[in-house]
Structure 1
Amino acid sequence: MAISHLSAILALVASAVAAPTGILPLSERAGNTTGVQFVGTNIAGFDFGCSIQGECNTIKISPPLSNLGGADGPGQMQHFAKDDGWNMFRLPVGWQYLVNNKVGGNLDSGNLQKYDQLVQACLRTGAYCVIDIHNYARWNGQIIGQGGPSNEQFVSLWTQLASKYASNSKMAFGIMNEPHDVPDIDKWADTVQAVVTAIRNAGAKTQMILIPGNDWTSAQAFPTKSGPALLKVKNPDGSTDGLIFDVHKYLDSDNSGTHTECVTDNVSSAFEPLANWLRENNRQAINSETGGGNTASCQKYLCQQIQFLNQNADVFLGYTGWSAGSFNPQTYELSEVPSKNGNNWQDTSLVRACMVKKK
């Protein structure tokens, strides 16, 4: 066997071994034409009561668990996995809820037991399950590591969570939902680095860790504003295996995700520049929040956005919509909550048009 061929084979083996569970190794990214690896939605409810200032009123929590008087989140996930072919669910939760309002404290055993019911229901579908701390880089209005909770207090939360779930390869860790108006992106990168190091040192060696930038984790802003600073975040061994950039993008007039009509597919303005930047830096991203109303305009533009993600699956791992779970489908603008009639589930029109994986 020629030495060059042997070297190539050894390189492929090494990349396959190093690749985090569920992610295509580096050698297989280029030319990926099969579409994104992960599709799913958020199963919201444990984040209810959390404001954009990181204030979480735990009285307003609405667990998406029928045995706790809420929505049938487990049934929704089983339907999505079985009938729609989805394989990732993001599970938002407030930091205050997990530690019973004690910043830097231990996980509250009662509240954790309830949240874990949702996690275990997710895992039973066979899907990847993302813990999402839904606090906007804050605790009660104060920014982590920049005048608010210390990095050590935030690390304490993630050390405990990673230790609990380290043995399951299908867990993923979403460090923080939508940081915004963070004054120093380099200090935020230091906070993220501390969390990454803690998660890996807690035994979660191969699971995906979702790395959030500033600007509400905007896919459009990421390449020029947050990305350069966050490129320096590494695993303890110096690699970036499993460190996936976390981006959001809505399709309404102000990118707020509060309107039922959509006006853009975000391709030329956001995802195309981001794809180029990711390739230049040999990295990948996941779109963990996107969606729109159940309207013709959103069907048009969301389908176009998803088509672009599928065509650029070498750098985009996938997407999870916003949102199913405990939302009232009669009143919530971006509902992806399926309806149930007997044993049959019926998806919303937007999900049916754009998100169901073709069999």
Structure 2
Amino acid sequence: MFSALTAALALAVAVYALPAARDTGAVQFVGTNIAGFDFGCSIQGACNLTQAYPPLSALGGPDGAGQMQHFSKDDGMNMFRLPVGWQFLVPSPGSPLDSANFAKYDQLVQACLATDAYCIIDIHNYARWNNQIIGQGGPTNDQFANVWSQLATKYAAQQKIVFGIMNEPHDVPDIDKWADTVQAAVTAIRAVAAKQMILLPGNDWTSAQQMPTKSGPALLKVKNPDGSFDGLIIDVHKYLDSDNSGTHTECVTDNISTAFQPLATWLRANKRQALNTETGGGNTASCAKYLCSQIAFLNANSDVFLGYVGWSAGAFSAATYELSEVPTKNGNTWTDSSLVKACIARKSS
């Protein structure tokens, strides 16, 4: 995001192949973001590492591991997205992983895997390193591919790891050059991890509305080294507030006619699938109305939409953050936010 489910649990997607078309009326993946390792990262890709707030009680933060256990066990969630700043992982583009920082982030990844959910590794840098766009004046494609090669090597044996190449690229001048950057990351990942899903991000904040006409045609050319498109999923985001920023507590649209219906048509025409890795709103009646409607549409079109991941739980404050999906804990009992209860949870907790 800027700055920063009402059916039985479906069968998991087969690895190294696009999931088969489904008529079950339910998407395969439902979950939430577990934010914190991305805190301090601006929309210009500059990260103040002193502001990172690991959502792990073992590291002095909130109990993100407990949140994921609750979401999985009580709400039927089976996917979590784990944002992290690129600078948190490496001290400079192309350098080896920072062993101490990676070990901290890996604690969150392992806590996610322990729930048996799918876990999205998300580099949350907006296509940039310190205000310089990757492959277009900033770090080279090879330097970007290097961090993905290292991460893929770490998680190559974990079939439920999903590689989220980049959070919300925006104002990228040349979409074809950006597709080359995405291709470099895919090629690097596939050299060591042949089977996991990879999420392909477009320009325009990964907008679901803009994807069919702006970024999508360029991203369709990104392929696996063997020439296939297996496991390459279009990454989209879509908020429901007045300016599509995900910063307001009230919602005004379900995005169906303007975004998800046109995107579904485009995906079918090109035999591709998408995953909405950020959506959400305030814990208000308007957001419950419109988000539940948006989710119902995705469920009804589960042949092309794999799922949706809410924004956000993790290290946010449930009391102050506008789009909080952070559950509160009293003793051994977790209580969900009203929006999670109304729209996102697959089953009542």
Normalising TM by the smaller chain, what interval?
Answer: over 0.9
| TM-score for the superposition, normalised by structure 1 | 0.92
Matching of residue 273 in structure 1 with residue 267 in structure 2: no
Q: Distance in 2 between matches of 1:179 and 1:220?
A: 14
Matching of residue 190 in structure 1 with residue 180 in structure 2: yes
* Preserved contact between residue 197 and residue 236 of structure 1 (Cα < 8 Å): yes
Judged with a 3 Å threshold, the aligned counterparts in structure 2 of structure 1 residues 24 and 241 are, in CA distance, closer, same or farther, namely closer
Secondary structure of 1:181's match? coil
Q: Distance in 2 between matches of 1:34 and 1:125?
A: 24
Matching of residue 324 in structure 1 with residue 324 in structure 2: no
Q: Which residue of 2 aligns with 1:50?
A: 41
Q: Which residue of 1 aligns with 2:199?
A: 210
Matching of residue 38 in structure 1 with residue 29 in structure 2: yes
Match of 1:108 among 94, 98, 105: 98
In the TM superposition, residue 307 of structure 1 has moved relative to its aligned partner by 0.1
- Give the structure with higher Rg (CA): 1
* Preserved contact between residue 53 and residue 138 of structure 1 (Cα < 8 Å): yes
In the TM superposition, residue 20 of structure 1 has moved relative to its aligned partner by 4.5
Match of 1:124 among 114, 133, 136: 114
Amino acid at match of 1:262: C
Question: 1:1-359 residue pairs with structure 2 within 5 A?
Answer: 20-21=14-15, 25-26=19-20, 29=21, 31-99=22-90, 101-202=91-192, 204-358=193-347
* Preserved contact between residue 251 and residue 301 of structure 1 (Cα < 8 Å): yes
In the TM superposition, residue 22 of structure 1 has moved relative to its aligned partner by 8.6
Q: Distance in 1 between matches of 2:255 and 2:17?
A: 25
* Preserved contact between residue 122 and residue 163 of structure 2 (Cα < 8 Å): yes
Which has the higher relative contact order, 1 or 2, with Cα contacts under 8 A spaced 6 or more apart? 2
* Preserved contact between residue 97 and residue 111 of structure 1 (Cα < 8 Å): yes
* Preserved contact between residue 50 and residue 134 of structure 1 (Cα < 8 Å): yes
* Preserved contact between residue 20 and residue 206 of structure 1 (Cα < 8 Å): no
Amino acid at match of 2:288: Q
Q: Distance in 2 between matches of 1:170 and 1:348?
A: 27
Secondary structure of 1:116's match? helix
Q: Distance in 2 between matches of 1:272 and 1:206?
A: 29
In the TM superposition, residue 352 of structure 1 has moved relative to its aligned partner by 0.2
Structure 1 regions of 5+ residues with no counterpart? 1-18
Residues 106-152 of structure 1: CA distance to partner in whole angstroms, max 9, x if unpaired? 00000000000000000000000000000000000000000000001
* Preserved contact between residue 16 and residue 194 of structure 2 (Cα < 8 Å): no
In the TM superposition, residue 25 of structure 1 has moved relative to its aligned partner by 3.6
| TM-score for the superposition, normalised by structure 2 | 0.95
Q: Distance in 1 between matches of 2:23 and 2:213?
A: 26
Q: Distance in 2 between matches of 1:198 and 1:355?
A: 34
In the TM superposition, residue 358 of structure 1 has moved relative to its aligned partner by 3.5
Residues 280-331 of structure 1: CA distance to partner in whole angstroms, max 9, x if unpaired? 0000000000000000000000000000000000000000000000001111
Give the number of equivalent residue pairs.
336
Amino acid at match of 1:74: A
In the TM superposition, residue 81 of structure 1 has moved relative to its aligned partner by 0.2
In the TM superposition, residue 104 of structure 1 has moved relative to its aligned partner by 1.2
* Preserved contact between residue 70 and residue 334 of structure 2 (Cα < 8 Å): yes
Q: Distance in 2 between matches of 1:37 and 1:276?
A: 19
Amino acid at match of 2:33: N
Q: Distance in 1 between matches of 2:92 and 2:344?
A: 39
* Preserved contact between residue 20 and residue 208 of structure 1 (Cα < 8 Å): no
Secondary structure of 2:53's match? coil
Identity %: 75
Judged with a 3 Å threshold, the aligned counterparts in structure 2 of structure 1 residues 326 and 253 are, in CA distance, closer, same or farther, namely same
Secondary structure of 1:226's match? helix
Judged with a 3 Å threshold, the aligned counterparts in structure 2 of structure 1 residues 36 and 340 are, in CA distance, closer, same or farther, namely same
Secondary structure of 1:225's match? helix
In the TM superposition, residue 164 of structure 1 has moved relative to its aligned partner by 0.4
* Preserved contact between residue 18 and residue 231 of structure 2 (Cα < 8 Å): no
Secondary structure of 1:89's match? strand
* Preserved contact between residue 329 and residue 336 of structure 1 (Cα < 8 Å): yes
In the TM superposition, residue 24 of structure 1 has moved relative to its aligned partner by 6.2
Secondary structure of 2:168's match? coil
Amino acid at match of 2:71: F
